[in-house]
């Protein structure tokens, strides 16, 4: 069973809806007992970095997530803000992130020929997958995903970069470190492309 971690932020219903469509058992929960039994976790999130960390803290979820992800090595998928929280910090906030990845979120900055680009990066964009991973099984090169974000993740270790996307420059759009995976885009809003990705997470990761 997949636990979609409910910490008061994010598109929980849409993720659950798409997992249901691909036949994966999932539940939206903040209940430690349920999270303790899950064989996979999804950390969604839309909103501000500090709000995300504070909400996790207030619900007492951080030690439990550390135990499940670092101790039990349960696969976890961070989505959008959920991916940014996997790192150590963000320019958006003051609070430390979960720190599972040596990474930080920084705000898009455009100048020169790219000065016209809007922030947030909003719309459908493509990925260049940097290393083979079951998350991207059966996804063709022209697959596209829906993005909405003003900050992007920078990894200290290039081995953690799972996919890159171009918006003005190449930024990291997916990360991996063992059982820890993050995607900057919204698979739950990305048609069959996102559906395949979530099914891969449910069945192959």
Partner 1 sequence: MLLPRVIPCLLLRNAGLVKTIRFQDPTYLGDPINIVKIFNDKEVDELVFLDITATVEDRPPPFDLLSKVSSEAFMPLGYGGGVRRLEDVRAILSLGIEKVIINTYAAENPAFVSAAADFAGSQSVVVSIDVKRDWRGRYQVYTHGGRKATGREPVEYAAQMERAGAGELLLNSIDRDGTMQGYDLELIRRVCSAVSIPVVACGGARTVHDLAAAIHQGGASAVAAGSMFVFQGPLRAVLINFPTRDELKAAFSGEM
Enumerate residues 35-54 that contact partner 1 by CB under 8 A.
46-48
Q: Are 41 and 67 in contact (CB under 8 A)?
A: no
60 interacts with partner 1 by CB under 8 A? no
For partner 1, the closer CB: 47 or 99: 47
Is residue 67 flagged as an active site residue? no
126 three-class SS? strand
Q: How far is the CB of 118 from partner 1 (least distance, A)?
A: 6
Q: How far is the CB of 143 from partner 1 (least distance, A)?
A: 11
d(CA 92, CA 124): 23
Q: Are 96 and 88 in contact (CB under 8 A)?
A: yes
- Closest CA relative to residue 12, chosen from 81, 73, 75: 81
What are the residues facing 149 on neighbouring strands? Answer: 121
Is residue 91 flagged as an active site residue? no
Q: Which residue has the tokens 């964009």?
A: 125
In the set 80, 92, 121, 152, the catalytic residue is 80
> Which position among 5, 18, 83, 180 is part of the footprint of partner 1 (CB under 8 A)?
18
Is residue 142 flagged as an active site residue? no
d(CA 7, CA 119): 26
Name the site residues for partner 1 (rule: CB under 8 A): 11, 13-14, 17-18, 21, 46-48, 118, 120-126, 142, 144, 146, 148, 166-167, 186, 188-192, 194-195
* Catalytic residue annotation: 80, 186, 188
């Amino acid at each position: 069973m997949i636990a979609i971690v409910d910490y008061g932020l994010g598109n929980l219903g849409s993720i659950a809806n798409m997992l249901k469509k691909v036949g994966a058992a999932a539940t939206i929960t903040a209940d430690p007992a349920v999270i303790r039994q899950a064989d996979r976790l999804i950390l969604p999130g839309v909103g501000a970095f500090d709000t995300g960390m504070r909400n996790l803290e207030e619900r007492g979820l951080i030690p439990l997530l550390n135990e499940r992800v670092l101790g039990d090595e349960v696969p976890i998928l961070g989505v959008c803000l959920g991916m940014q929280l996997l790192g150590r910090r963000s320019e958006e906030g003051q609070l430390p992130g979960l720190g599972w990845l040596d990474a930080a979120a920084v705000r898009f900055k455009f100048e020169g020929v790219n000065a016209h680009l809007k922030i947030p990066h909003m719309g459908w964009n493509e990925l260049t997958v940097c290393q083979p991973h079951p998350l991207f099984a059966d996804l063709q090169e022209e697959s596209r995903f829906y993005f909405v974000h003003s900050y992007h993740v920078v990894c200290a270790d290039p081995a953690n970069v799972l996919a890159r996307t171009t918006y003005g420059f190449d930024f990291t759009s997916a990360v991996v470190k063992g059982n820890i995976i993050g995607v900057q885009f919204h698979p739950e809003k990305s048609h069959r492309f996102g559906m395949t990705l979530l099914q891969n997470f449910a069945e192959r990761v």
